[in-house]
Amino acid sequence: MCLLRVSENRDYCEADDFEPSCGDNSVVVMTTARYGRMRLGSCVREDLGYVGCKSDVLPQVDWRCSAKPLCRIRIPDGELDQTRPCPGELKTYLEASYICVQGIRRVGRKSELRVFTPVVPITHKYAGKQFF
């Protein structure tokens, strides 16, 4: 697999867009995604007794973004909110990271990612996508 770029784990607050993007002939592969109130910081300024509540949303974000050259998720997001990591009246945020790998994404009867420099097939465990 030819790794082109690694993103840092970053927070996306209310009204932010998570927009991973990769260059020509490369695609996003999600590595982490958590939704909730993980810690105090730029997105959560007061504890209110609910810091640390979170859901692992890698399967949802992976399905929407991995094997694509770019995607966009606006925070808050209805699908991620359905995981209900914290009481509904509290603001939640997305913490996510991804990598870019060189490949071609085929669109047709079966979408798949073909990586240019294969060594061993890698099965991405969340969305059932096969990486060759």
Instruction: Report how far residue 39's alpha carbon sits from residue 51's, in angstroms, rounded to the nearest whole number.
Output: 6
Give the right CATH number for 3-131 from 1.25.40.10, 2.40.30.10, 3.10.20.600, 2.60.120.740: 2.60.120.740
What pTM does this model have?
A: 0.76
Instruction: Report how far residue 104's alpha carbon sits from residue 118's, in angstroms, rounded to the nearest whole number.
Output: 12
Please check the confidence at residue 122 and state whether its pLDDT lies above 70.
Answer: no
Domain spans, the chain: 3-131
Query: Which residues, 6+ apart, have CB-to-CB distance to 7 below 8 Å?
Result: 20, 97, 98, 99
What's the pLDDT tens digit per position in 33-51?
A: 999 999 999 999 988 888 9
pLDDT of residue 7: 79
Higher pLDDT, 10 or 88: 10
Q: Range with the lowest mean pLDDT among 2-6, 8-12, 43-47, 100-104? A: 2-6
Residues 84/53, Cβ–Cβ less than 8 Å: no
pLDDT of residue 77: 95
